[in-house]
Chains A and B, each alone.
Chain A
Amino acid sequence: MNTELAAAAAAARHRKVRRQRVRGLTRHAVLLTWTAIIAFPLFWMISTSFKDAGEWVAWPPHWLPNRPTLHNYAQIFAFGALDPTLSRQATEQAFTIWKGLGDAVVVCTTASLLALLLGTFLAYAISRFKVGGPYFRHTILMIRMIPPIVVAISILIYYAIIIPYATSALLGVRISLFDTYLGLILIYAVTTLPFVIWMMLTFIDEVPYTLEHAARLMGARRFQIIRRVVLPLVASGMVVTFLFVFILNWAEFLLALTLTHPEVTTLTVLLNKFQSASEGRLYGPQAAIGTIVTIPVVVLGLLIQKHLVKGFSFGTIRK
């Protein structure tokens, strides 16, 4: 009797274990399928970046390059005259990455720093003094919600026509913000400001006010309090915010495409030039640029992974 019961219990346990194992396997099967879906385009990009011109569109497609080559990378990193052994198409369209990389770094860094400084300062004022009324932090969100194309047209007209028109009438000098670093930096700073304010608000709200109060009682001035008490406590938050905003600016395309044409070229615009190249698409160099553009951003993004949800959800979700 007892042995029968024990056997039944063992069988039940066995069934349960097996059910759990089946469930675990299905779970991993689903997750691995999605992993494959995620990895597929990335794998294809990296693989193509090592392919020779003849292999870009071969049928059946070559999953791994038959003859791996670094020509694509050589081409995008080339200085001045190109190596004549590169493919004919490539030599005809002497695109190099340096201009785009330099412009993107200059614009994104400056704009992110500007937004970070202004945004942190304002976030501090909002958090401590309720400046702009209780709903100011929400109204500033609306800037982010406006579709950029709507703003882009206004700003294009403003930069390219109104400002030159006004300055030549008033000052006698024709100044245009169209296709300048300053113009792009200003608009990037404004569009990322809501993110900075929201992320910094969550960090600054966590700094206890009593600390500042104590410092004040001990005779510290406002700027001393900020430098010695507040800044050290939110410094790591500022780094995270900076990286987040930098990634956003780095990825921005529409505004850069609209507000710059021949002179300032960020990486995204450069990549698009390859895509619309008239003499067939240069898949190889494009894949090489894509790889180069992707690596730093993914690394930075994974560094601040924990805080991403804060930025994207405007503090609506606690992590």
Chain B
Amino acid sequence: MAEITTNVAIGAADVGRRRIYRRLARWLGSDRIFPLIPFVLVECLIILTVLVPFVLTIWISLLKWRANRPFETAQFTGLENYAAVLATDQFWLALGRTFYFAGVAVALELCIGFVLAMLVSRCTRSRKFYTTLFLAPMMIVPIVVGYNFSMIYIDSGPLNQLLAPFIEHFGIDPRIRWLSHPIAAQWAIIIADVWQWTSLTFLIFLSGFAALPRQLVNAARVMGASPWQTFWRIELPLLKPAIVIAIIIRSMEALKLFDPVVLLTFGGPGTSTQTVAYFLWEQVWVFNKFSFGAAASILLLFIFSFLIFFGVYMLVSQRRAVEGDTP
């Protein structure tokens, strides 16, 4: 008798628990709660790994502190670090250099990528072959690209050997010191960047060309437009979204330039290839100037935030132009 009652009791408890689970599942699955689950999870993750450190960085940028001393002994100094950063020529030079690299590299990538995409889109049989090949650099780890170029740029390397017959006519020493001459080193980095990221602009333009409405181009041709006119009056305006997007995406990435600098030149010779990312990294990692680095990174974020906002705005408006609907 007693056994039966306990069994019944366990069964009742089991049923009750199951009912609670079911109710919980239904509550979690309801229209109001369900979409909030991932939202809250992601927001928590972002707050914990991006926002909290960011606020702390602002706090640290107001302290006088280097990593070789204990954190407790840090003194509050207000905006002194910011003043120090603003007064550092190296910071401004690095910033200017970053924009210079980004400008030159992105311009070259756009031109080369555009021409290549145009030529490939006119191919019929060999299109797949070229597309596959031209996309390869984008997938290679940037650090490997930097490393490859560091090998090619050696004074007695293959690049100098290839260039030697052309250069010797002009009486220049064929052993160009690619990585230890200030201007050559800058171009070395730009070339490496162009080599890798032209594939991305090529990809964007290729899909732009593929999406061109053929009827429009054909109609223009039937009406007697020369290829030149069709290109300037019809194809180019239709490709504008692709061009804008390529510019934005590549500029955003080019401003982050870091990997090839570390691998190729370590910012040298002197400081001639220091980008702003490398400058910050060096201040914090080599000189342990944490609060200085924190102040510089806040300033940098402030400077870049306009660009970030503008970039996202342009992406959104282009997306709307392409899709023709609300987000």
Contacts and interface: CB of A to CB of B under 8 A. Distances in A.
B111 interface: no
A271 B249 contact: no
A248 B250 CA distance: 16
A309 B203 CA distance: 7
A105 interface: no
16 contacts: A37-B195, A38-B133, A58-B156, A59-B161, A131-B36, A132-B39, A142-B309, A145-B312, A158-B53, A158-B57, A253-B143, A253-B258, A272-B263, A308-B203, A317-B204, A318-B322
B87 to A, nearest CB: 20
A141 to B, nearest CB: 5
Interface in A30-70: 30-31, 34-35, 37-42, 44-45, 48, 57-61, 63
Interface size class of A (residues with CB under 8 A): 35 or more
Interface in B17-72: 25-26, 29-31, 34-39, 41-42, 45-46, 48-50, 52-54, 56-57, 60, 71
B151 A48 contact: yes
A302 B147 CA distance: 22
A21 B319 CA distance: 39
Interface residues of B, number: 105
Interface stretch (A4-12, A71-79, A82-90, A184-192): A184-192
A31 B119 contact: yes
Nearest to B194: A37
Contacts of A148: 256, 258, 277
A286 B140 CA distance: 15
Contacts of A137: 327
B71 A275 contact: no
A302 B139 CA distance: 8
Contact of B208 (A30, A221, A317): A317
Interface stretch (B3-11, B120-128, B181-189, B216-224): B120-128
B156 A30 contact: no
Contacts of B132: 302, 305
A150 B144 contact: no
Contacts of B255: 147
A31 to B, nearest CB: 6
A175 B304 CA distance: 33
Interface stretch (A91-99, A119-127, A206-214): A119-127
A45 B70 CA distance: 45
B49 A187 contact: yes
B49 A312 contact: no
Interface stretch (B77-85, B165-173, B278-286): B278-286
B110 interface: no
A271 B203 contact: no
Contacts of A119: 42
Given A35-B134, A268-B141, 16 more contacts: A30-B119, A41-B149, A42-B136, A142-B312, A150-B298, A151-B54, A157-B57, A158-B57, A254-B258, A302-B135, A305-B131, A308-B203, A309-B204, A313-B245, A317-B211, A319-B211
A134 B46 CA distance: 19
B126 A317 contact: no
Contacts of A153: 57, 280, 284, 290, 293-294, 297
Nearest to B136: A298
A305 B38 contact: no
Nearest to B131: A305
Contact of A316 (B256, B298, B319): B319
B108 interface: no
Interface of B: 25-26, 29-31, 34-39, 41-42, 45-46, 48-50, 52-54, 56-57, 60, 71, 112, 115-116, 119-120, 122-123, 126, 130-145, 147-152, 154, 156-158, 161, 195, 200, 203-204, 207-208, 210-211, 241-242, 245, 249, 252, 255-256, 258-259, 262-263, 276-277, 280-281, 284-285, 290, 293-294, 297-298, 300-301, 304, 308-309, 311-312, 315-316, 318-319, 322-323, 326-327
A241 to B, nearest CB: 15
B182 to A, nearest CB: 21
A143 interface: yes
Contact of B147 (A40, A141, A158, A271): A271
Given A27-B122, A132-B39, A309-B204, A287 B54 contact: no
Nearest to A41: B148
Contact of A297 (B141, B210, B211, B280): B141
B273 to A, nearest CB: 15
A173 interface: no
A146 B138 contact: no
Q: Which 4 A-B pairs have the closest CB atoms?
A: A301-B139, A222-B29, A129-B35, A59-B156
